[in-house]
Amino acid sequence: MPQMTLIQAINDALKTEMRRDPTVIVMGEDVGVNGGVFRATESLYKEFGQDRSIDTPLAESGIVGCAIGMAINGLKPVAEIQFDGFLPPAFDQIVSHAARLCWRSRGRFHVPLVIRVPYGGGIRALEHHSEAPEAYYVHTPGLKVVIPSTPYDAKGLLIAAIRDPDPVIFFEPKRLYRAFRQEVPEGDYTVPLGKANVIREGTDVTVLSWGTMVRVCLQAIEQLESVSVELLDLRTLAPLDIEMIVNSVTKTGRVVIVQEAPRTCSVSSELTALINERTLLQLQAPVARVTGYDTHMPYLSREQYYLPDARRVKKGIEKVLSF
C-alpha cells in the first residue's frame, strides 16, 4: 500500500473517480495546465484533457454557477475554490441555488456537486487565505460539510462526496496537505459521510475536533499522560454523527471542543447546545470551547496567537477536569 500525503490522496481520489465515471470533471482556477495552486489536480489534465480538467477565469461565482448547471444536466463537477477566503463571492450561488434546487423542485432535481476548498491557517498566508468558514455552510440547509484530517479519510470522503447526490462542501486542511504520510489503498473505497471517527479511546474527557485541529489535539493529549482522553474526529459536520458524540459524552461526562474558527455562533456552539440538550444530566462540567477569537484571522506574524495550540487545548482539558 503506498504512503501518501493528504494532497496526494486527494489527487488520487479525483483520478480514481474520473477513471471510473466519465461524468466526473474538475474545474477551477489553475486546476488544468498548472495542476492547481497546491497541486491537488496535478496531471489530471494530461490524462483526461481540457474538457474534464477545466481552467476557469478568476470568478468564483461563475465557477459555482456553471458547476450547478453541469450538475443538474448530468455531470458530476468537482469545483475548486482556490482559498477559503474566496468562497464569499460564490456564496449566493451556493446558498441560494446549489443548496436549494432539490428542495425547490421537490426532489425532482439533484445537484451532485462537490466544492473543494483549502481552509484554515498556519501556513503564513495573506488575508483571505487562512479562514475557517465552515459554520456558514453548516447553518445552510441542503448542504453537506466534510473536513478530513488524514490522507486515508481525505480519499475515502472525497470519493463518497463525489458519489453523493447532493452538494458537498469539502474543506481541505491546507496546513496538513504535506504534513505527514499515511498508507492509502490504491483502489477505490469510500469513507461514509456522516460518520465520526474515534482517533483515540479514553474515559476521562471527550475532545471533539475536525480538520487541522485534530493534529493539535493529538499533540496536547500526548503531553497529558495521566489523563485518559477520548478524541473524536468529526470528519463530517453536516450531517453530524450526534450518536457517537452522545455515546462518548455519556461515558466521560466532560467535553472540550477544539476549532480554528471564531467562537460566536460556530459549529462549537451547535455542538455545545446539542450536548446540553441530550446529556445534561451526564455532564460533570460545562462544555469547554477552545477556538479562534471573535476577530478576523490575523496576518502571519500573529497567527500563532490566534490558532488554538496544544497549550490551549491542555488548558481546556484541565479546566473541565478541575470543575
Partner 1 sequence: MSQMTIVQAINDALRTEMRRDPTVLVMGEDVGVNGGVFRVTENLIKEFGSDRSMDTPLAESGIVGTAIGMALYGLKPVAEIQFDGFLPPAFDHIVSHAARIRWRTRGRYHVPLVIRAPYSGGIRSPEHHAESPEAYYVHTPGLKVVIPSNPYDAKGLLIAAIRDPDPVIYLEPKRLYRAFRADVPEEDYVVPIGTARIAREGSDVTLIAWGAMMPVALSTAEKMASQNTSVEVIDLRTLVPLDSETVLESVKKTGRVVILHEAPKTCGFGSELAAVVNDKAFEHLKAPVVRVTGPDTTIPLARLEDYYLPDVGRCVKAIQRVLSY
Residue 190 or 269 with smaller CB distance to partner 1: 269
| 262 in contact with partner 1 (CB under 8 A) | yes
Number of shown-chain residues binding partner 1 (CB under 8 A): 45
285 scored as a contact of partner 1 (CB under 8 A): yes
Residue with grid cell 475548486, as numbered in its chain: 80
Closest CA to 63 of 14, 98, 20: 98
118 binds partner 1 (CB under 8 A): no
Sequence-distant (≥ 6) Cβ neighbours of residue 291 within 8 angstroms: 257, 258, 259, 260, 261, 262, 263, 266, 268, 308
63-75: string of b/e by CB count within 10 Å (b at 16+)? bbbbbbebbbeeb
> With 0-12 CB in 10 A as exposed, 13-18 as middle and 19+ as buried, what is 49?
exposed
The smaller minimum CB distance to partner 1, of residues 97 and 215, is found at 97
| Contact call for residue 21 and partner 1 (CB under 8 A) | no
Residue 10 near partner 1 by CB under 8 A: no
Q: Examine the residue annotation and report whether 139 is marked as an active-site residue of this protein.
A: no
104 vs 178, beta carbon nearer partner 1: 104
Task: Work out which of 19, 46, 104, 302 binds partner 1, going by CB under 8 A.
Answer: 104
122 binds partner 1 (CB under 8 A): no
**How far is C-alpha 319 from the geometric centre of its chain's CA atoms?**
27
- Asked if residue 315 binds partner 1 (CB under 8 A), the reply is no
Cβ-Cβ contacts under 8 Å for 5 (sequence gap 6 or more)? 151, 177, 178, 179, 180, 181
Task: List all residues 6 or more positions away from 154 whose beta carbon is below 8 Å from its beta carbon.
Answer: 6, 9, 10, 13, 148, 172
Separation CA 130–CA 121 (nearest Å) = 4
Annotated catalytic residue within 110, 129, 139, 296: 129
Q: CB 295 → partner 1: shortest distance, Å?
A: 5
Shorter beta-carbon distance to partner 1: residue 3 or 96 = 96
Residues 78-97 that bind partner 1 (CB under 8 A): 85, 88-89, 91-92, 95-96
Among 33, 46, 58, 103, binds partner 1 (CB under 8 A): 103
User: Could you say whether residue 99 binds partner 1 (CB under 8 A)?
Assistant: yes
Secondary structure of residue 46 in the 3-state scheme: helix
Q: Any contact of residue 100 with partner 1 (CB under 8 A)?
A: yes
Q: Does the footprint of partner 1 cover residue 222 (CB under 8 A)?
A: no
Among 19-27, 36-44, 66-74, 264-272, which window interacts with partner 1 (CB under 8 A)?
Answer: 264-272
Q: Between the CA atoms of 57, 132, 307 and 174, what dihedral angle is there, to the nearest 10 degrees?
A: -50
Tell me how far apart the alpha carbons of residues 260 and 149 are, in angstroms, rounded to a whole number: 13
Binding flag, residue 43, partner 1 (CB under 8 A): no
Residue closer to partner 1 (CB basis): 66 or 285: 285
3-state secondary structure of 257: strand
Q: Which run of H or E residues covers position 286?
A: none
Cα separation values, 54 from 72, 252, 300, Å: 18, 49, 32
Which one among 51, 108, 226, 280 touches partner 1, defined by CB under 8 A? 280
Out of 286, 303, 310, 318, which residue is the one contacting partner 1 (CB under 8 A)?
286
Spatial CA neighbour of 145 closest among 191, 175, 114: 114
- Name the one range near partner 1 by CB under 8 A: 4-12, 65-73, 165-173, 284-292: 284-292
Grid cell 439533484 in the structure block, residue? 110
Residues taking part in catalysis: 129
Which residues bind to partner 1, rule: CB under 8 A?
A: 85, 88-89, 91-92, 95-96, 99-100, 103-104, 127-128, 135-136, 138-142, 238, 261-262, 264-270, 272-273, 276-278, 280, 283, 285-287, 289, 293-296
